[in-house]
Each structure stands twice: as C-alpha cells, then as structure tokens.
Chains A and B, each alone.
Chain A
Amino acid sequence: VHAALGDARAVLNVGAGTGSYEPPDREVTAVEPSATMRDRRSPALPPAIDAYAEQLPFPDRVFDAAMGTFTLHQWADLASGLAEVRRVTRGPVVFLTCDPALLRTYWLYEYAPEVIETEASRYPSPSTLVAGLGGVTTVTPVPIPLDCTDGFNDAYYGRPEMLLEPAVRLACSAWSFVEPTAVARFEAHLAGDLANGVWDAKHGHLRNQEYLVGSLVLVVSMPGPFGNRPVRPGIVRFVSVLSRRPRSTPSMPITLPSTGKWLMKILAREGRYVFGA
C-alpha cells in the first residue's frame, strides 16, 4: 500500500476504521462513518472525519493519493464512492481488498461455505473496480504472511486452530451474517478434522508455508490521460502517436484556435503519446 502511494504527501484514507495500514509518514486525512471505529483509533493517529465515501466533503483533486483497506464491501453505493474518491484525488487510488472469485479457493470453503459465500457476495469484482475507477487500473495479488497480524479469514491459512476461537472470528464481519447453526457445524467439522488428522493430511503443508497467495489483492488506479474530466456528448477524445521523440515540447494544454470557441485541445503528452479532445 505504501509503495503504491508513491511520493504522495496528502493522503486520503477512506473507511479508515481504527487506522490499520495508515502510513505514519504522510499527511493523512481519515474518513470513517462509524463512531465506534473512530473512537478506537490510536491517539497517535489523526482523528477521523465522520463522512461516507459516497459523499466526500472535499474539493476536487485536493489529495495526492487515496487509500482504503477492507472497506469497499461495506459501501452502500460503490460506483458513487469510487467516483467520489477519484474526484478528490490527483494521483493514485489504492485499495487493499479481496477478489471474490478467489475466496472460494481457500480451504475454509470446505468448512464454512456460508461464510465464504457471504464474503464473496459482498466484495466487488476486480472488473467492477477497474470500470468504476477508470484511468489505468491494475489488480495485483498480495501474498499473505504466515504470521499476518490482521484478522481476516485468509490470515489463518496455516493456523486453523485460531479460527475455532470466537474472539478471532469476531474480527471478520462475515461470520456475524451466518446462522449460529452454520457456525456450530463449522466448529464441529474443523475441530474433528484437526483432531483426527484429516485437515493436516490435506493442508498441513500450509503450517510452514511462508506466504499464501490467496484472495487478497491490491488495486492501484492511476488517473488516465484525460484525468478526471467526464465524458461529454459531442466531444471526441483522441491519441496521437508521434513517429519519434518530439523535436519540440510545447507547454500544455494547448487550445486551438487560441481565441474564441475551441475546436481542439491538446491536453497532455506521455512519451510519444499525445492526448487531446
């Protein structure tokens, strides 16, 4: 997350919660709608602003970068929230989240399918995020370390006994959405398989596996060549490919004609690519 933020100074943390993953070396503005979570933030962190991603109380392009960790699945209106985050951010938008399709590849699916299905139904797909964020967006798997201190389900891939602890499961909200009977069935099934060696026969190698590449992904979106400008009817965007390195590098934007109603704007250049409308 921190590497993806680049050299950004002013960073927005959306759905900041208690401030986990929040970089201490940046000027962070935290947004968190839950009073309970805001109250649980460390005194060492800046206090969080009471606001929702869907309606951010900030001007356009005021932050160098934005981040969010395990928050997208809680948003009421994902498209509006992504558009808002993009609106207030000049540079990269970085989300640590889960790929719902990959959640079902985790061994926990054998024991608590209701929990995994609940999680899978709440997390947006990578393609939804790519479409919602626009620009140039990449989705990269994040290896989960064996001693991961965050309490999401995949973090216990090599420590299955931990998931038998109700207090541990409390850290992952999906468990609270399933029936108590499903949880009881899970406990009996996993406890039994741990006692009789079935779990270790199938998954025991995970106890010493340093990392798991599972459902955890990092979504990094850079603004496209057209920035945050919305698509408007009657406006055709274009890209020109220069045949070689430009001989001159005029400052941009360039409006043509230079006076009166514009017919063409040259907005930006990236290497041999020139973008305009």
Chain B
Amino acid sequence: VIGYLGQIDRLFGVPATTRSWNTISAIAKVLDDGATSPRG
C-alpha cells in the first residue's frame, strides 16, 4: 500500500506529503478543545 502512495505525486504532478486522517482529526480536536475551553 505504501508504494501506491507514491502514485499521488505522479497523478497530480507535484510532490505530496501524506498523513493518516486519524492524526489530522486528533490534532483538530485538540485545537478545537483549546479554542473553546475558556468559555467553560
């Protein structure tokens, strides 16, 4: 599967960086909690 990720660079013609969506969602949740916590 990892080998197929390289296909993204070729298909779109530019270098790409790939991350798990779970990682992105976890970061977004932390940022969101940080933004709303002062309101209690």
Contact = CB atoms under 8 A, between A and B. Distances in A.
B15 A243 contact: yes
Interface string B16-33: 111111101000000000
Nearest to A244: B14
Contact of A248 (B5, B12, B17, B18): B12
Nearest to B32: A130
B21 A247 contact: no
Interface size on A, as a range, is 20 to 34
A250 B7 CA distance: 12
Interface size on B, as a range, is 10 to 19
Contact of A256 (B4, B14, B15, B22): B4
A237 B14 contact: no
Nearest to A254: B11
A256 B7 contact: yes
B5 A240 contact: yes
Given A239-B24, A256-B7, A264-B1, A247 B18 contact: no
Interface string A227-239: 0000000001111
Interface centre among B16, B17, B19, B20 (most CB of A within 10 A): B16
Contacts of A248: 11-13
Interface of A: 226, 236-250, 254, 256-257, 263-264, 266, 269, 274-276
Given A236-B21, A246-B14, A274-B12, 17 more contacts: A237-B22, A238-B20, A239-B18, A239-B19, A240-B8, A240-B16, A240-B17, A242-B12, A243-B14, A243-B15, A245-B14, A247-B14, A250-B11, A256-B4, A263-B4, A264-B5, A266-B11
